[in-house]
Amino acid sequence: MSVLESLFDAQLSIFGQSILWREVVGNAFGFASAIGGLRRRVWAWPVGIVGNALLFTVFFGVAFANPQHTTLFGQASRQIFFIVVSIYGWWRWASLRRSQEAAAPAITPRWASPRERLGYLVAWVAGVVAAQQIFVWVGVGFAAPSWYYWCDAWIFIGSMAATYAMARGWNDFWLMWLAVDAVGVPLLVKSHFYPSAVLYLIYGALVVYGFTVWLRSSRTAAAPAPDRVPDQLPAPS
């Protein structure tokens, strides 16, 4: 076995459960990307892409053997779409960044408009219905209950919607991530992907904090500028 193969298959054991180092490292890159997103830095996107590539090999167990002997098609598929949407986000933030001052964040956050919010909610619901049926047709290699496919589809579509919302600079994306985490953590624990489950819990705290930071920034940007006081008062007539 080559050095690269040894690194690729390296595992650690926690409480008797074998875990791939790829899962740990991939999630570390994901967490770093979340920090960059909170700070609205362009480097958040390429860092996230590296983590997505590693996690794809973890969750797509049917092709890349993992200790859990489990394939999460929703988790695996969303890594691909993360990369696609992240390329768009990377390009958009970098383009906006060129018009900012040297130390300024790449974007100014705002809430999605009513029309934009309706659009992503409709797309989310329709996407979940379609994705869960596709996952049922593909199968996961074991007799999975129906809720398994619904949960996987919810995570898959919700993650795509949240990543797109982040690229657009909408405050909504933090709340969308909380909705994804609420389903993602129990499913990952059930499937024995413990490092990812722990990271999702940490993400939850980070998401709450990030939401307050973006909300405060959007309110500051939307606040009207104070009236300018004249340097000198007019002389009395």
Domain ranges within the chain, ordered by starting residue: 3-101+110-221
Residue 114: the pLDDT is: 95
Class of residue 198 by CB neighbours under 10 A (exposed 0-12, middle 13-18, buried 19+):
middle
d(CA 152, CA 194): 16
Residue 26: the pLDDT is: 85
> For the chain, first and last CA: distance in Å?
94
**CA 162 to centroid of chain Cα atoms:** 6
Whether the CB-CB separation of 161 and 120 falls below 8 Å is answered with yes
Per-residue pLDDT of the chain (237 residues; tens, 9 = 90+): 565 556 556 655 665 566 777 878 888 888 888 888 888 888 998 999 998 888 888 777 545 555 455 566 666 777 888 888 889 889 988 888 777 666 667 778 899 999 999 999 999 999 999 989 988 887 766 677 888 889 888 988 998 899 889 889 899 999 998 999 898 888 888 877 776 787 778 878 888 988 998 898 888 866 554 554 444 445 554
Cβ neighbours for 84, distance < 8 A, ≥ 6 positions apart: none
Exposure of 7 in the CB half-sphere (CA atoms within 13 A) = 5
Exposure of 21 in the CB half-sphere (CA atoms within 13 A) = 9
Whether the CB-CB separation of 11 and 20 falls below 8 Å is answered with yes
d(CA 93, CA 12): 37
d(CA 33, CA 164): 15
